[in-house]
């Protein structure tokens, strides 16, 4: 099993931008035949988890669904 470890700069409070970064890094890891990509905890929220609860819940990104789609897309 090959494990890739991601280190990148998260955008504070911008879940969509951070999911895009993870997607890009997952593609790079897959190209290097990694089986698993490990990201820093709280990367998706830009290390600001309380901001997820501040806005309109109908406008929030389905984080688990987005990450699952990234995993499926890159194998």
Predicted local confidence at residue 27, as pLDDT: 98
Give mean pLDDT, residues 47-64: 71
Predicted local confidence at residue 5, as pLDDT: 98
What is this structure's pTM? Answer: 0.85
Q: For 7-48, write each residue's pLDDT tens digit.
A: 999 999 888 999 999 999 999 999 999 999 999 999 998 988
Does residue 28 contact residue 5 with C-beta atoms inside 8 Å?
no
Does residue 45 contact residue 51 with C-beta atoms inside 8 Å?
yes
SS3 of residue 36 by DSSP: strand
d(CA 14, CA 7): 17
């Amino acid at each position: 099993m090959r494990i890739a470890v991601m280190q990148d700069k998260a955008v504070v409070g911008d879940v969509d931008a951070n999911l895009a970064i993870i997607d890009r890094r997952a593609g790079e890891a897959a190209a290097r035949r990694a089986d698993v990509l490990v990201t820093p905890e709280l990367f998706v929220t830009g290390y600001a988890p309380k901001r997820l609860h501040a806005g309109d819940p109908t406008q929030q990104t389905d984080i688990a669904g987005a990450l699952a789609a990234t995993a499926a897309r890159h194998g």
